Amino acid sequence: KQEVTQIPAALSVPEGENLVLNCSFTDSAIYNLQWFRQDPGKGLTSLLLIQSSQREQTSGRLNASLDKSSGRSTLYIAASQPGDSATYLCAASFSGGYNKLIFGAGTRLAVHP
Amino acid sequence: SAVISQKPSRDICQRGTSLTIQCQVDSQVTMMFWYRQQPGQSLTLIATANQGSEATYESGFVIDKFPISRPNLTFSTLTVSNLSPEDSSIYLCSVVTTGNSNQPQHFGDGTRLSIL
């Protein structure tokens, strides 16, 4: 069964700290992996997409990596800010279901001043 | 990226009734999807909305309960039928804008549904 797991479930950090969110998946036949942000009462905002042939993607203060052999992805947030407070979701699609995203349960991040 | 509008943004419905949710995109897209997010949980794919033909449902979801239409490349509806308290969820549509399957999915703001 294809599953996506995220740890930790919640994280609270002081402003300015660098942090890492973890995502693991059970099937090495991953097609791509996408990181999203969800603010309370809102939909999902796409942050980064990593194709299976890539090792990492960067956007501003965000860097996402993908290691297919270990079944892991990480989202690195540099110099965190209170505005980064949200739930971060990773979602993977696998060969045979290219557009079917399987979501992790999310990491709820709070960045306090 | 495409602008995705969902209506209504929220609703409170009586048991046994139905609610139809609309998803409108400001440009033609290749693929449209419907997801459910139950309280405190992550997203689960309900179905892929196929333009001009029947939707493709995931395991555990059936057309009688979740009829879907997609008459063109910019619009889709999801109906949640015979509502019960277990249907209280957020329903989200998402799109892929090009035929390249290695493109990100983009989501609307969702419809928050509560059942009395």
Tens of pLDDT along B46-68?
Answer: 999 988 889 999 999 999 999 99
DSSP state of A103: E
Nearest Cα to Cα of residue A107 among A16, A3, A1, A4: A4
A99–B106 CB contact, under 8 Å: no
Distance CA A15, CA B61 (A): 43
**B58, B96, B107 ranked by CB distance to A44: nearest:** B107
Q: Does residue A104 contact residue B58 with C-beta atoms inside 8 Å?
A: no
Is residue B99 scored above 70 in pLDDT?
no
Is residue B101 scored above 70 in pLDDT?
no
Chain B nearest-CA distance from A100, in A, is: 7
Is residue B20 scored above 90 in pLDDT?
yes
CB burial readout B82-102, b (16+ within 10 A) else e: ebeeebbbbbbbbbbbeeeeb
Quote the percentage of chain B above a pLDDT of 70. 97
Distance CA A58, CA B22 (A): 34
Q: Best interface-test mutation with B: which of A51, A57, A95, A103 has the largest number of B CBs within 10 A?
A: A103
A98–B101 CB contact, under 8 Å: yes
B105–A42 CB contact, under 8 Å: no
- Nearest residue in chain A measured CA to CA from B43: A103
Quote the percentage of chain B above a pLDDT of 90. 81
> In the numeric block, which tokens belong to residue A42?
């809102």
A94 touches chain B (CB under 8 A): no
pLDDT interval class at A47 (50, 70, 90): very high
- When mean pLDDT is compared across A13-27, B6-20, B101-115, the lowest value belongs to B101-115
